Amino acid sequence: MPGEKILLAEDDPGMLRLLAESLMSQGYAVTPAADGHAALAALEAQEFPLALLDLRLPGPSGLELLSRLKTKAPATEVILITGPGDLQSAIAALRLGAYDYLLKSGLSLPELHAAVARALERRRLAQSNRDLLAHLSQAQEELARRRTLELSQIRRIGEVLAGPLTWEQLFQGLAGLIWESLELTMLGLEFLGTGAENPLMEFRRQPEVSDRAFEDFQNWFQETSPGNPAPPPPCPALLKETVQAGEVTARVAAVRHAPFSPEEVELFRIFTFQAEAALKNLLLFEQVKSLAIRDGLTGLYNYRYFIETLRYEVEKFRRYRTPLSLLFLDIDDFKNINDTLGHTAGDKVLQTVGALLQKEVRHADLLCRYGGDEFALLLTQTAPAQALVLAERLRALISQTPINAVEPDFRVTVSIGVAGLEPGMSWEDLVRAADGAHYRAKEAGKNRVWWAR
């Protein structure tokens, strides 16, 4: 958000000036500090939403500043700037509460801007959650003057809905809260647009409700329209609501025989209000999370997320011995495309190839843009022989698909390396094996698949 304050501590004058000017060009209010003492004085004078700290500073180091910051102003996000030799210290800083770290070597300004935007968005999300809890607390105080029971119910709303939830957790939490807080005969709840393969939907009933009545209620809920506003007998009392957050729609209907009291109607409204706020927060959280793990050009997972997942899958292999294979591929003669047709055409080629690969892989597999024109595909529960078949299919598909967005009937080919994880191999060994096979495919003439065995 323009105007947000950033503390920038860096002892290299040239780097300090470059980073400060770049951030100020984005609309941020930057306070530069050339050493740890100046940074500490700035922190004592005011609060910053974000601090960018060089790990090695004259005077108090970046780690010391981080420790003091998290004690004095825990809401301040911290990004460390470090060299390759300080990675262990940077990782230790993450455990102390730093949001991220950036390597000085090869640091690009777009990468800096993206990291800063993500950190500030994360802080705003946390503040939004704190505000939500504050509003919830005010609602609790108001309801406490009416009834102790209502106070307890509102507290449960905050506990279940205000935290960082998954879609399934939010869905089940809302259904449970409504069902347990109101004396209902039947309940229907649906979430649409969460990205799941099927909508989240659940129905509940009391034991005395007949199968026929329950089926009628379910049919009514799924077919509700302006011309069909009331549920079928025998439940004339109805509470229903639809809330929208982005592309996500939540629908709820609660019915029983006896009319609802004004207090129950108000409680139901609070449920739906807090559910809408929780939906918005979860959408924002998903967006921020996606920025951290997705490649901006292709929308595929990025290198960092790939490495984290690869390490996890290798540990699973060691424990359960389930097969695991890795494909490395890149676009043949991609540099010539950039040199002759321009980088815009190169970007379209990368996007098209990424989309083709994404359509062909299973949901359980992990596809990422490894870097430049290289892609990596991690195949779980897949032996190398099976991976080889998939690799050949992908190679043929890409070579046969025209990329008309570049030029009419323009085509590219890819070289693919295939490797399978074997006992005793580390994740680094698997990467080297797949990468080596990929280079063998290049050396053998390109537009082919090579199996490392």
- Say if residues 286 and 137 touch (Cβ distance below 8 Å): no
Mean pLDDT of 411-422: 94
Whole-angstrom distance, CA of residue 366 vs CA of residue 380: 8
Query: Domain map of the chain by residue range?
Result: 5-123, 146-288, 303-451
Nearest alpha carbon to residue 427 among 295, 319, 325: 325
Question: In this predicted model, what pLDDT tens digit does every residue of 122-140 receive, in sequence order?
Answer: 888 878 777 777 676 676 6
Question: In this predicted model, what pLDDT tens digit does every residue of 3-26 receive, in sequence order?
Answer: 789 999 888 888 889 888 988 988
pTM for the complete prediction? 0.44
Beta strand ranges found along 391-439 (DSSP E): 414-420
Q: What is the structure's pLDDT at 176?
A: 82
Whole-angstrom distance, CA of residue 272 vs CA of residue 252: 9
Percentage of the chain lying above the pLDDT 70 cut = 86
Q: What is the structure's pLDDT at 230?
A: 60
Which pLDDT band, with edges at 50, 70 and 90, does 172 fall under? Answer: confident
Determine the CATH number of domain 146-288: 3.30.450.40
Q: What is the structure's pLDDT at 349?
A: 93
Tell me what the pLDDT averaged over the chain comes to: 83
Question: In this predicted model, what pLDDT tens digit does every residue of 88-118 receive, in sequence order?
Answer: 777 777 777 888 888 887 778 888 888 888 8
Residue 194 clears pLDDT 80, i.e. is over it? no
What are the distances in angstroms from CA 150 to CA 133, 181, 182, 193? 17, 9, 11, 32
Both tokens assigned to 143: 């309801």
Question: In this predicted model, what pLDDT tens digit does every residue of 314-356 receive, in sequence order?
Answer: 888 888 888 999 999 999 999 999 999 999 999 999 999 999 9
Q: What is the structure's pLDDT at 280?
A: 72
Determine the CATH number of domain 303-451: 3.30.70.270
Q: What is the structure's pLDDT at 226?
A: 46
Kindly write down the DSSP assignment for every residue of 327-381, as one continuous string: EEEEETTHHHHHHHH-HHHHHHHHHHHHHHHHHHS-TTSEEEEEETTEEEEEEET
Whole-angstrom distance, CA of residue 332 vs CA of residue 63: 45
Q: Integer distance in angstroms from the first to the last C-alpha of the chain? A: 52
Kindly write down the DSSP assignment for every residue of 47-115, as one continuous string: --SEEEEESS-SSS-HHHHHHHHHHH-TT-EEEEEE-GGGHHHHHHHHHTT--EEEESTT--HHHHHHH
Which pLDDT band, with edges at 50, 70 and 90, does 392 fall under? Answer: very high
Q: May I ask the CATH architecture of the domain 5-123?
A: 3-Layer(aba) Sandwich (3.40)
Which pLDDT band, with edges at 50, 70 and 90, does 232 fall under? Answer: low
* Residue 5 parent element (H or E): strand 5-9
